[in-house]
Amino acid sequence: MAGEAFADAYPGAEGYGRLEALLEHAQRAAPTDMPDLVNQHAAALGLRHVSLYLVDIQQRQLCPLGSGQPSLAVDGSHAGWTYRTLAMRVEDVEGPEGGIRVWLPLVDGVERLGVMEAHTELLDSERLRRCRSLAALLAPIITSKRAYSDTFVRQARTQPMRLPAEMVRAFLPPRTIGNEQAVSTAVLEPAYELGGDAFDHSMTQNTLHAAIIDSMGHDLAAGLATSVALAGCRSGRRAGEDLRETVDTVDQALFEWLPDRFATGIFLQLDLDDGRLRWINCGHPPPLLIRRHTVLDHALERPGQLPLGLPGALSPDPRTVHVADLEPGDRVLLYTDGVTEARDSQGRLFGLERFTDMIIRATAGGELAFETLRRLIHYIVGDEGNELRDDATLLLVEWLPGPWGPGGDVPAG
């Protein structure tokens, strides 16, 4: 048994020594063993029981890792409140069992994975520190095991996924990346049936790279075109190409391998030190600039250019790189036309004006960028009766330099 093996290897281990032992043991544990493994150490940490919940890909439910427990709603539960706010939640446990339940977010970097539930007889400062340390330890372990195990993938799904969506999602990066200076976060719908939409983002020491892509069609060929475009984007970026050269690489990749397919997209770079935004728009809806909870009209609107993958003869001039300077706290929102072309249950076109109004309402509460985006996409999907007529993808980049980073305040006014 795993517990007996642990006891033999680490006699007398307790407290932070037990956390160190858990880390070592978890490296060799199968994903399915994680819930039992964690609870074999719970008593030594002063905890009765620990449960892990992972969010599903639509960020609607927190699904228990392991069996015997129900899923919890992200909206309308204590666990969901912790997920939405990244804040600890403490509650008394009613009934004969009694004790205290502590909810803590599971976050790897800035990527929200789910929540951890810890049940303890009492909560003092030492137990609280151990709970926080345990949650911080488990998040990267879950991320590492999710990369090669279908167990966690299944845990995040509530229905079967179509092949085009499976292919595109295999290429996607984490939903959220960031550091102390910037965050980039994205969502896609319909989660299980998307075809040609995708996003990409990455960070170097001083630059945030991000892209959104919308390939023609809504079938396997569209997913293939999107996958080629993503591969071309990463190939150019990782080879040290500048923004224009990277987009040229995507153009050539699509033209060479899928000459009958094209895509629209935006590729951007944000200088993390000075807020200089550079972007190329390839036949795509222009980015929206959100400043102090207001969408600035036409702030990033520039003359359009041809979509990706068209023959060079149709576009003899090089791609134009646009430039704008952001202010601390600014958010840049990229979206695909599936958002504005959606129709509500009465058949009314969603439209840019209505979408802009939603953005203002979604950001007015001062929520974290990834929570703002989650609420925004749920509003759109909900208005469609949980069905979209086309892929709808949103990508939000937020610049938070210096004192306006995590823990600071965006200046008012």
pLDDT at residue 391 in the model: 87
For the record, the structure tokens of 21 come out as 């032992």
What is the model's pLDDT at position 18? 75
Superfamily of domain 14-154: GAF domain (3.30.450.40)
**Cα end-to-end span (Å), the chain:** 61
Q: What is the largest CA-CA distance in the chain?
A: 77
SS3 212: strand
- For residues 181 and 399, the answer to whether their CB atoms sit within 8 Å is yes
Rounded-to-integer distance, Cα 53 and Cα 73, Å: 11
Token pair belonging to 339: 């958002």
pLDDT of residue 151: 86
Domain ranges of the chain: 14-154, 159-399
What pLDDT, on a 0 to 100 scale, did the predictor assign at position 412? 40
- pTM for the model stands at 0.89
CATH number belonging to domain 159-399: 3.60.40.10
Q: Give 3-state DSSP helix, strand, coil % of the chain, rounded to 5.
A: 35, 25, 40
pLDDT at 68: 75
Could you identify the residue written with the tokens 């990229």? 334
Question: For residue 6, what pLDDT is reported?
Answer: 36
CB 395 within 8 A of CB 188: no
Output the six-digit token pair for 68.
Answer: 């015997």
Q: Which amino acid is at 118?
A: A
pLDDT given for residue 14 in this prediction? 52
Contacts of residue 406, defined as CB under 8 A and 6 or more positions apart, other chains included, come to 180, 400
Which regions of 204-262 does DSSP assign to beta strands (E)? 207-215
Q: Mean pLDDT per segment of 10 residues, for the chain of length 413 residues?
A: 38 60 84 88 87 95 88 96 96 85 96 96 90 94 88 88 90 94 94 89 96 90 93 96 96 92 96 97 96 93 90 74 97 91 73 85 85 89 62 94 52 39
Cross-strand pairs, 289:
296, 332
Q: Which amino acid is at 385?
A: G
Sorted by sequence, the CB contacts under 8 Å of residue 97 that are 6+ apart come out as none
| CA distances (Å), origin 7, targets 21, 28, 37 | 10, 16, 12
Q: What is the pLDDT of residue 111?
A: 96
Residue bearing tokens 């790897």: 108
Structure tokens at 257: 């391998």
Amino acid sitting at position 250: V
Phi, psi angles (nearest 5°) of residue 185 = -140, 150
Distance CA(270)–CA(180), nearest Å, equals 14
What's the pLDDT at 289? 96
Sheet holding 322-325, edge to edge: 197-203, 207-215, 263-271, 276-282, 322-325
What's the confidence (pLDDT) of residue 338?
Answer: 84
